[in-house]
Each structure stands twice: as structure tokens, then as C-alpha cells.
Chain A
Amino acid sequence: MKLVAATLYALRIPLVEPFDHSAARRRCADSVVVRVRDETGTEGFGEGAPRPHVTGETVEAMLDHLAHELWPRLAERDVPGADTLDALAAFVPDVPLPGAVAANASRAALELAVLDCALRRAVRPASALLPPCRGAVTYSGVVPAGSVARAARHARQMRAVGLRHVKVKVGGDVAVQRVGAVREALGPDVSLRLDANGGWTFARAVEVLDALAPLGIAAVEQPLPRGPVEELARLRRATPVPVMADESLVTPADAEALIGAGAVDFFNVRVSKCGGLSRAFAIGRRAAAAGVGVQVGSQVGETAILSAAGRHLAAALPEVAFVEGSFGTLLLAEDVSVESVRFGHRGEAPLLIGHGLGIQVVESRLRARAVTVRELSGTR
């Protein structure tokens, strides 16, 4: 069946409270959602979260890239059957975006929409392509940047919800005090990670990690800016805290370079950042084969679409150390699906077993929350 139409929605959904980290301050979700439709009228929805400091994409660049580069290459073409993830992924081209590390958010949005459409047409769930290795997924909480008091407040809330894994955004001058306050509020049994979003120098990273290591830190995410992998490898040798790559891991080539250098203990694999489910899954499996741990990460303010994709990825990867995302209306003023994808007590969430990505997107909510809507015709 041919793809005949697509709609792009640049969303602006207010967050329940601002979410800060060393690279950005977010008050609104700013994902781009793609809806594709085939000639039978079957629809599929995908989402990408453009992050200038990660892939180099902005909302406008993503809209233009989708409208002028990616969609014209798919319009009026037959979508492969929903038999293998790789065949569907190969259907979506990889077109460079000048000035960007990779146009991965754009590609992820379109790949997810095509995948959702193909699975719905075949009346099959995503597990047909990504068989789950587990029956449920356990999510982490994330403490955003801010004051010591605010960090402790968030940590108390996470303890009340029973979360077993928590990540703290660090980077400012009071990192040690903030993490100490979080550890005190959570108690000793909750696993604690740090995320510097590339905000430290090498010396600062060593200093802070040495100070925090006694608190029992399971990993530090992207302590240094994206750059030579040898710097991460050197830091890994210099600190007792396991190191995780995030902004340094965007492409498969990044993954190979990090593995080759023995630079990190963990990869943070994210569907939007890595260019779609297929590539994220491949990077996750490559990591496992190389003895590198995997975190399935998320995008701050992602909607139920990316959360659903992340759920499938986290369920399907053979070994997953940590999972993030599925905050739903804990973070968004309104989510876009009929059913809630938000995790529950202890961060636990069931697998999504419905057709396609397993959620029903409410198109009227997308339209109501979009600041830009672009209709793309089927003509190439």
C-alpha cells in the first residue's frame, strides 16, 4: 500500500513545572509529531524531539527536513509489510541535514509513523517486530537542576512514589550538596545516577565525582562535552564512578568509537536521538555484545508516542540497566493518547500490547497543542 499523505505537528505542550539541566531550561514540550496515511486510510503516528545541543536539529529545521527531504522520498511508495523491523527501517532514508550531527529526530519521527502505520494495517502489535524479553518495564525518576531544597523536594516525592532508580541533573556549583540532599531523602536502597549533560571540564568532573562516589553513584552520564572519545576513556580511568555516554552517542559510528576506545561503562540509547527504533535497538544490542551496559533514555517532554516506542525498546533489549521516560502527565499538562503511558508505583509499567505502537493518538489534541501544522500531499 502506498503512502499518500502526511501531517507534521510542531507541538508546544506546557510542562507541569519547568525542567532544567545544564544545557537547557524547558517550560514546554516541543516535539514534532508525524502522521502518515496510506491509500487504505490507515494512519500511523511518530514523534521526534529536536535538540540543538544533541543532534543539532531545531523544530524549524526538522519540519523543513521532513517536508522537503524525507517525505518526498516516501510519498506514493509502497510500504513494506510488517514482517521485519529492518525492512521497515530501510524504507525510511537517511538524508544528511547540513550543520547537524545527524537528522536523527526527523528520521525517528518518520520511521515510527511508518512502523505504526504498517503494523496497524497488518493488525499486529510492535512486539511482532520487537519480541519482548521481559513482562514489564521499570522506570527511573529524574531530579531536574535547581536549588538544594528543590532537589530534596523532588527526591521526597520520588520516594513516596516508590521509585527504585533516580537520576540527578548536576552541573552547577552546588552539585555535591544537591546530590547529598537527594541521597538523604531517598535512603540507601535507591540506586542513584548523575547527569552532567556535558557541563563539566575534566578537572571538575574528577573533583565532583571523587566527592560524590562515597554516596554510592551507579553511573555518571555525559560528564564531559561531546568530543574526542579518548577524553571520556581517560576520565573513566580516573574516577571510580561508572561513566555513561549520551550526547557522545548519536550515530552507530559514535557507538563503535566509544566501544573501540573503552570509553564508557554504559550507553544511553534514545529512540529520537539515535534515529528510530531500529537503530536504537541495533546500538543497544551492539553495546550488550561489547559488554557495555544500556540505559534506555527519553526526551524531556516527550509525548506518549516516543514513550511507547521507548517502552517497546526497553522490553526488547536483552539487557537493560536503567530505563527513563513515560512521565506522561506527571510532566505534561496533557498527553496525546487515549490511554495513559505513565508509569505507576515503583516506576513500573506494563507492556503495550495494542496494534501498532500500542497507543491511540487523539488527533484533535495534536491539533489543539500544535503551533504549526503542515499538510503534505502524496505527490512527490
Chain B
Amino acid sequence: MDCDRFRVTIEAELAGQVASLTGCEDFRRLEDGRATPGEYDAFIESLASAHLRSPQLLAFLYALAPPVAADHLRHNLLEELGLDEESGRPHPDLLVDLLVGAGLAHRLPVVQGEADADLRRIVTDPLLYGTLRAIGLAALIEIVAFEYMLSRVAGRLARALATHRALPPPALAWFTHHSEVDVRHAEEGLTALAAYVDYYAVGPEDALAIAETTLRENVFARRYFRHFVVARSAR
């Protein structure tokens, strides 16, 4: 399998994951207004927690970036930090705006604690792979997966929260931003993935296996619906 085929395979895998997310009961309940107020709040908190520490993860990936993908990852990082010319406010601040706009400002310490715990877990859990090359690839796949998903779903999520949770536009700036910029990010991310595999000479079969392991579950549903996934399983 060459790098182009790897890219095509990954893109198909990501498309399947997005379809799985938008087809899952929890997502549909959010979108059609059947979710309870508590479920909307849990979703907002989970999403904020999932992305609050994205700058740190992007900084890690920037450190490992192959030369041809370094500009893309640096740009992403600066944008995330609000240091890019066009990007405006840091993205973590937009997530705080989301929480405040949803009346969940009092939950910010809890959300920050969860985000910190997730980051700590990444560092302290036993490493599944034996090389930094493989670990970096797994991390890059997950970041690209979220960019790919947000470029297709962020707008729908924002509309759902505006319609059924009555959130005003300023609170939804994080979604608006991601729906606009992640179309480009997702494309560049897939290119960066192929470049990474090529530059670090990851065997195509190994690259595919790492991708399959990283995406063996729906990473989006796990992050966004973790607080009420048990309720679904019990139904």
C-alpha cells in the first residue's frame, strides 16, 4: 500500500466514523431536540473538555512534524492559541465563552479538571507503541479525525444548540470557527498524515494498523457523549 492509498483508506475510515457519529442515537437526540436539558449540558461540557487542551496536543505534534507538514501544524497551533493573523481569540477562550453562554460558568473548574486529567492520562498510561514514530502517528490520526469531523458537523452542532438550547451566536463562535476553517484543516491534515508516513518511513501496513487501532471505536462519540453513554447502553 502506498501513501496515496493510505490517504484514501484513512479518509474512508474517517467518513465512516462521521457517519457513525451523526447516526448515533445521542447525536440525533441533540439535533432533533429530544435530548434533555441535562444531556445538552453534558454534551457542552464533554466537548469543551475534549478540546480545551488542544494547543498542548498540537504543540506535541508540531515538535514531530515532518518538514513538509511543519508549516501546516505550526499554523494550526498558532491559530489555536489566537496568535495567527486572522484567527482572533484563542480557541480555549471560545470554549469558555461556550460554557459561560450556556450558563455553565460554575462548571468551568470541573471541565478544566477533566481536560487536565485526560492530558495526564495520555502521559501516564502505558504506551501501546514502542517508538515515538508510532505514537506520533496515532496522535496525528486522532487530531486529523477531529478536524475532519468538525469540518462536516460543527455547523449542525451549532444549529442544534442554537435551536434547542437557545445559545446566542457569541457562545457558538467555537463551532462557527471550526466549521469554516476545518474544511481546509482537514484537507491539509490528510496531506500531513501521508507526509508523516512517508517521511518517517512507517510501513504502510503498520500505518494502517495504527490507524485501525486509533479509530477502532468512534472517537468522537466517546469524547462527546461519555457522560450519558451508559444510559444508552442500559436502554
Contact = CB atoms under 8 A, between A and B. Distances in A.
A196 B205 CA distance: 29
Interface in B199-235: 205-206, 208-210, 212-213, 216-217, 222, 226-227, 229-230, 232-234
B216 A333 contact: no
A161 B129 contact: yes
Nearest to B210: A160
Contacts of B134: 160
Interface of A: 12-14, 16-17, 27-28, 153, 156-157, 159-162, 333-334, 339-340, 342-346, 348-350, 368-369, 371
Contacts of A156: 205, 208-209, 212
Contacts, number: 69
Given A14-B230, A14-B233, A160-B129, A153 B222 contact: no
Contact of B226 (A153, A334, A346): A334
B125 interface: yes
A71 to B, nearest CB: 25
Contact of B233 (A12, A162, A350): A12
A291 B232 CA distance: 48
Contacts of B126: 340, 342-345, 348-350
Contact of B213 (A161, A334, A343): A161
Looking at chain B's contact residues, is the secondary structure mostly helix, strand, loop, or mixed?
A: helix
Nearest to A371: B234
B128 A344 contact: yes
A368 B230 contact: yes
Contacts of A342: 125-126
Measured as residues with beta carbon below 8 angstroms from the partner, the interface class of chain B is 20 to 34
Q: What are the 9 closest A-B residue pairs judged by CB atoms, nearest first? A: A344-B126, A160-B209, A156-B209, A16-B217, A340-B125, A14-B233, A157-B213, A345-B130, A161-B128
B121 interface: yes
A369 B206 CA distance: 35
B129 A345 contact: yes
A134 B167 CA distance: 57
* Secondary structure dominating the interface of A: mixed
A160 B209 CA distance: 6
B22 to A, nearest CB: 19
Given A156-B212, A157-B213, A340-B121, A346 B130 contact: yes
Q: Which of B121, B125, B127, B227 counts the most A-chain CB atoms under 10 A from its CB?
A: B125
A28 B127 CA distance: 25
B122 to A, nearest CB: 10
Contacts of A157: 209, 212-213, 216
Nearest to A333: B229
22 contacts: A13-B233, A14-B229, A16-B216, A16-B217, A17-B217, A156-B212, A157-B216, A159-B206, A160-B134, A160-B209, A160-B210, A161-B129, A161-B213, A162-B130, A333-B230, A340-B121, A340-B124, A342-B125, A344-B127, A348-B126, A349-B126, A369-B230
B70 to A, nearest CB: 26
Contact of B230 (A13, A159, A345): A13
A321 B126 CA distance: 23
Contacts of B213: 157, 160-161
B212 A17 contact: no
Given A13-B230, A16-B216, A346-B130, 19 more contacts: A14-B233, A16-B217, A157-B209, A159-B209, A160-B209, A160-B210, A161-B128, A161-B129, A162-B130, A333-B229, A334-B226, A339-B124, A340-B121, A343-B126, A344-B128, A345-B126, A350-B126, A368-B230, A369-B230
